[in-house]
A and B are shown apart, each in its own frame.
Chain A
Amino acid sequence: MSALGLTAIVLLATYAASSTLFSALLALWLRRADRVPATADGLLLLRLLPAGLSLATTLTIALPAFVLGEPPGDGERAGALAVGLALLAIAMLAGAAARVLRAVVMTYRVLGRAGPGRPWQGTSHWPVHIVGTIGPGAATVGAWRPRILASECVVEACSDEEFAAVIAHETAHIRARDNVKRVLLLACPDVLAWTPSGERLVTAWRRAAEYAADDQAAGSSALRRVTLAAAIVKVARLTGSAPSGLPSTAMSAARDEVAGRVRRLLAPPAAERRDPAVSRARWLTCLVPLLAIPAHGAVHEALELLVAFGR
């Protein structure tokens, strides 16, 4: 086997092994933790942590340790364990690519069915299109060139102020780049993407992002908050009248989300608090390569064992 091929297998195997380990540790911590991050940014970082740490481990520890310590032109053959782990890494990457591709296809499907619609005459920094072909609802569609779509029946059902609140909410999603973050979450190549823990994290992030967009749209004004709450209830009624194809678990989560958002908007706004998880995750990812520098020799030995296992 060529040196390049062996290096590729080692790196893929290291990625798969570290991703599995970090994902398992995170899933375990989530089960036992008294408190998990409440902010959208904290939850996003938590979800990206296994993949981020695995990438850092692979590129800054495994790659230099293996390449620098490996004799040139060895012609070594990889064992079954290394090959198996490399295939797992390829499956993770392929899964991530498939999720992103499906998202792109579904997004174009929504935009295609929506058609051009008619432009909204109100004030908005981003294009708002009123369409009559997509059933009841409103949404921000697309990551790189987002546009806001709203169905005719939402315009008809809401007052001018309520519809303006809907648009303000969607604008907040664009400002926070929530659809870009959605793509990042889909593109996470790790085993957590295949587990209920990973799904729960994404659901929690989605809910936190909605809360954040509500806060941005309505601020601390009691009138704007109650107007947005009214719009949420009206649009929920409209969407509830059309079968969505969602499984019952998702509908249950959606029900909790609607109730949570409305009650939260009607309560006095809570003070914003910084999430320590965000800075902790950043430090952890930066520290990994630094802490391992003295251990490069031991890392190389471990990688040699990995390559030889099952040969």
Chain B
Amino acid sequence: MPPIDQDTPQPGTAAARRTRRREFGPLEARVIELLWLQGTPLTVRDAVAVLPGLAYTTVMTTLERLHRKGLLLRERRGRAFVYAPRWSRAELARRDVSNHVAGLLASEDTTAAVLSAFVQSVGNHDRALLDELEALVQAERVRLQGRDR
């Protein structure tokens, strides 16, 4: 789908600031999960059909909100808009999104919440450390495979 408004947020721009303020409410999470699962762009009517219990206006408002937050692409087809995720789930997790949501399980909140995180965030600049550790892991795996033969 050729997106009409695919302006990738540049650092320091209003769009980038909007991206950083992004937060997922439970309803927004449901809707974007649906779009990921469907894998094709959906109109509001298509989305309502697979989201039982939600009113048309509710779904429409939620899609609009996600689009304003920069998470969805929108294109007009005839009289209706179709919506599609800007990024896949994995891409979204890796992008520089709002401090408030991304990395929530490895963020400052873990020091205050009743929560044991599997791994605390080590920061992007520690790639060299992670490469070194991965090399150690691979070496040990090779050693064990050699031992088992």
Q: Which residues of A contact B (CB under 8 A)?
A: 99, 102-104, 106-107, 109-110, 112-113, 115, 131-143, 149, 151-153, 156-157, 166, 169-170, 173, 178-179, 182-183, 209, 213, 222-223, 226, 229-233, 235-247, 250-251, 253-255, 257-259, 262-263, 266
Complex contact A244–B103 (CB within 8 A): yes
Complex contact B105–A110 (CB within 8 A): yes
B98: min CB distance to chain A, Å: 9
Most chain B C-beta atoms within 10 Å of own C-beta, residue among A104, A134, A140: A134
Q: Give Cα distance in the complex from A136 to B92, angstroms.
A: 10
Complex contact A223–B89 (CB within 8 A): no
Residues of B with C-beta under 8 A to A107? 113-115
Residues of B with C-beta under 8 A to A140? 115-116
Closest chain B residue to A232 by CB distance? B119
Given A132-B29, A137-B105, A226-B144 in contact, is the A255-B116 Cβ separation under 8 Å?
no
B122 at the A interface (CB under 8 A): yes
Q: Give Cα distance in the complex from A245 to B111, angstroms.
A: 11
Q: Of A133, A213, A226, A235, which one neighbours B141 at CB under 8 angstroms?
A: A226
Q: Could you list 23 examples of A-B contacts with CB < 8 Å? A: A99-B112, A110-B115, A132-B36, A134-B104, A135-B97, A136-B102, A136-B106, A138-B117, A139-B110, A141-B114, A152-B90, A179-B116, A213-B116, A231-B118, A232-B118, A238-B93, A239-B105, A243-B102, A243-B103, A244-B99, A244-B121, A246-B111, A255-B122
Q: Which residues of B contact A (CB under 8 A)?
A: 23-24, 26, 29-30, 32-33, 36, 89-90, 93-97, 99-124, 126-127, 129-130, 133-134, 136-137, 140-141, 144
Complex contact B144–A222 (CB within 8 A): yes
Closest chain B residue to A118 by CB distance? B33
Complex contact A229–B140 (CB within 8 A): yes
Complex contact A138–B105 (CB within 8 A): yes
Q: Give Cα distance in the complex from A263 to B129, angstroms.
A: 12
Complex contact A173–B144 (CB within 8 A): no
Complex contact A139–B89 (CB within 8 A): no
Complex contact A254–B122 (CB within 8 A): yes
Which 9 residue pairs are nearest across A and B when measured between Cβ atoms? A137-B105, A254-B120, A244-B121, A106-B113, A242-B103, A242-B102, A135-B102, A239-B106, A133-B29
A97: min CB distance to chain B, Å: 14
Residues of B with C-beta under 8 A to A131? 29
Given A115-B26, A152-B89, A230-B137 in contact, is the A241-B116 Cβ separation under 8 Å?
no
Q: Of B24, B36, B120, B127, which one neighbours A246 at CB under 8 angstroms?
A: B120
Q: Give Cα distance in the complex from A137 to B123, angstroms.
A: 13
User: Knowing that A137-B118, A258-B130 are A-B contacts, what are 4 other residue pairs whose CB atoms are under 8 Å apart, sorted by A's residue number?
Assistant: A136-B94, A151-B93, A239-B119, A243-B102
Q: Give Cα distance in the complex from A59 to B34, angstroms.
A: 59
Residues of A with C-beta under 8 A to B108? 244-247, 250
Closest chain A residue to B96 by CB distance? A243
Complex contact A113–B113 (CB within 8 A): no
Residues of B with C-beta under 8 A to A99? 112
Complex contact B118–A166 (CB within 8 A): yes
Residues of A with C-beta under 8 A to B110? 139
A118: min CB distance to chain B, Å: 9
Residues of A with C-beta under 8 A to B118? 137-139, 166, 169-170, 231-232, 235
